[in-house]
Amino acid sequence: MKRAVYKKLLIWKNGTKRKPLLLQGARQVGKTYLVNEFGHKEYSNYVYLNFEQNPNLVSLFKNELSPEKIINNISLFIGRKINSTDTLIFFDEIQVVPEVLTSLKYFYEQAPDFHIIAAGSLLGVSVGKQSSFPVGKVNFMTLYSMSFIEYLTAFGEKLMVENLVNAKKIEALPEILHNKLLTHLKLYLYLGGMPEVLQDYLDNRDIISVRKIQNEILEAYKRDFSKYTDKTQAIKTSELWHSIPRQLAKESKKFKYSDVRKNARAVTFEQTIEWLKKAGLIDVVYNISIPKLPLSGYADYSKFKIYLHDTGLLGAMLNLSSNIIVEPTELFSEYNGAFIENFVASELVASGIKDLFYWSSKSDAEVDFILQKDNNIYPLEVKSGTSKNLKSIRSYEDKYKPKLIYRTSSRNFIQSGNFINIPLYASFLLGNDYK
């Protein structure tokens, strides 16, 4: 399946300041498949080493971490000489071997001609633990589950994607095209963006098979909780993880520790949230009461919402029935719009916004997302239904006079003065990669 990040890999390959690349992302978002495809298509020679499948590979990095020695060891292992010319070396699942992560520093300093990509399902967690992490010696890239426009491309709607991406002005689509995209969106909300899930549905059109795969992915996540943390932390991670769908199903989606465990406090679960965030499994949206730059400087990190990185997995955790796909509007409003807010958060992150914030006032007005684009701040309200109620965002407008105010909903493209409605299926246009 075509991934948008492929173009970034090409830029990395051809860059004059290229460093070893760390590719981060949650388990089963397609990192291995992507790099394998990239290696075979873009290089004459490709070397793949998986440290989880073959733990004995660690011996190639023992005693000495000089690139010359490592390359010689790998050459002897695979039975052919490795040259830097038009060769990609892929170290996969490196979170199990700290020496591999450390070696990237020496590849940058002593053998910069070698093209090295390293990846791991829990690489973000592993990076945080490493005292010998090669600071400033690597490039970073993150792969997320497939976004809605990646889904559209996979489902044969490349022309539709190009039309959305290249539109020069806010203009309503013909109603038949708008409804077609909304139909696709409902299916995407149920399937999510995990590549294996989408490929299975493309091949078999079997919802039961899809749900089985989603549950298998969730089970793999649970195993990771136990495999990469101690017993006490694994229990806390599991508790918090399973509380997220319930918390999103509430009308107020503000995260409460007491909904994880009775009388629980922040100190008990702060580390757990950070672990899930670094593992790429959740997106955290922090509260701000005053929208000033930089937004991070005005955030209240004790107030936040947590969304899953994939709506399909959220639906699986809630055991959402597939018949909701064919209902006109139910999926948009189900669980108090949880799927829609979760979807928009994922789309914003995938399209280049690293830190997410929401705004609330003392008078109970709340705007779902506050966006920083260049040196401007814009409010974004998410509507799961067709309601035209703009009370909260107008309250924000009265206080702070933004140049533009945005709503994303199931309605078509609309612009009226400084108000812009972006259809939910085009939420990615609000990201920093689509200024």
267-308 per-position pLDDT tens digit: 999 999 999 999 999 999 999 989 999 999 999 999 999 999
Angle 427-162-350 from CA coordinates, rounded to 5°: 35
Q: Is residue 304 part of a domain?
A: yes
**CA–CA dist 325, 106 (Å, integer):** 52
Going by pLDDT thresholds of 50, 70 and 90, the confidence category of residue 335 is confident
Q: What's the predicted TM-score (pTM) here?
A: 0.93
Q: Which of 109, 142, 175 is at the close of a domain?
A: 142
Are 121 and 186 found together in one domain?
no
Structural domain containing residue 31: 6-142
Q: Which phi and psi angles does 140 have, rounded to 5°?
A: -115, 145
| Domain CATH for 98 | 3.40.50
**CA–CA dist 275, 269 (Å, integer):** 10
Are 121 and 180 found together in one domain?
no
User: Residue 173 gets which letter from DSSP?
Assistant: P
Give the three-class secondary structure for 419: strand
Are 269 and 173 found together in one domain?
yes
Are 326 and 265 found together in one domain?
yes
**CA–CA dist 44, 197 (Å, integer):** 31
Q: Which phi and psi angles does 243 have, rounded to 5°?
A: -80, -20
Are 162 and 21 found together in one domain?
no
Give the residue with greater pLDDT, 134 vs 212: 212
Using CA atoms, how far residue 321 sits from 242, 249, 261, 317, 368, in Å, is 19, 15, 28, 11, 27
Report pLDDT for 300.
Answer: 95
Please tell me the least confidently modeled range out of 128-142, 251-265, 346-360, 391-405: 128-142
**Which tokens is 309 given?**
């990185």
User: Residue 35 gets which letter from DSSP?
Assistant: H
Are 310 and 418 found together in one domain?
yes
Percent of all residues in the chain with a pLDDT value above 70, rounded to a whole number: 95
Are 222 and 284 found together in one domain?
yes
Residue 336 near residue 251, CB atoms below 8 Å? yes
Rounded to 5, what percent of the chain is helix, strand, coil?
A: 50, 15, 35
Residue 228 near residue 211, CB atoms below 8 Å? no
Three-state secondary structure readout of 41-106 = HHCCEEEEEECCCCHHHHHHHCCCCCHHHHHHHHHHHHCCCCCCCCEEEEEECHHHCHHHHHHHHH
Sequence-distant contacts of 12-19: CB under 8 A, at least 24 apart: 12/139, 12/141, 13/42, 13/115, 18/112, 18/115, 18/139, 19/108, 19/112, 19/137, 19/138, 19/139
Q: Is residue 78 part of a domain?
A: yes
Are 286 and 426 found together in one domain?
yes
Q: Is residue 71 part of a domain?
A: yes
Kindly report, residue by residue over 234-254, the tens digit of the pLDDT: 999 999 999 999 999 888 899
Residue 306 near residue 349, CB atoms below 8 Å? no
Residue 173 has pLDDT above 90, yes or no: yes
The distance in angstroms from the start CA to the end CA of the chain is 25
Report pLDDT for 229.
Answer: 84
Residue 235 near residue 41, CB atoms below 8 Å? no
Angle 395-397-398 from CA coordinates, rounded to 5°: 65
**CA–CA dist 269, 369 (Å, integer):** 24
Give the three-class secondary structure for 346: helix
Q: Which of 102, 120, 142 is at the close of a domain?
A: 142
Q: Is residue 317 part of a domain?
A: yes
Strands 87-92 and 115-119, by their bridges, are: parallel
Report pLDDT for 97.
Answer: 87
Q: Which of 96, 125, 142 is at the close of a domain?
A: 142
Q: Is residue 276 part of a domain?
A: yes
Going by pLDDT thresholds of 50, 70 and 90, the confidence category of residue 74 is very high
Q: Is residue 1 part of a domain?
A: no
Kindly report, residue by residue over 27-71, the tens digit of the pLDDT: 999 999 999 999 999 999 999 999 999 999 999 998 889 999 999
Are 384 and 286 found together in one domain?
yes
Are 237 and 211 found together in one domain?
yes
Altogether, the residues listed in the chain come to a count of: 435
Are 92 and 193 found together in one domain?
no
Q: Is residue 197 part of a domain?
A: yes
Total domain count, the chain: 2
Report pLDDT for 329.
Answer: 67
Are 318 and 171 found together in one domain?
yes
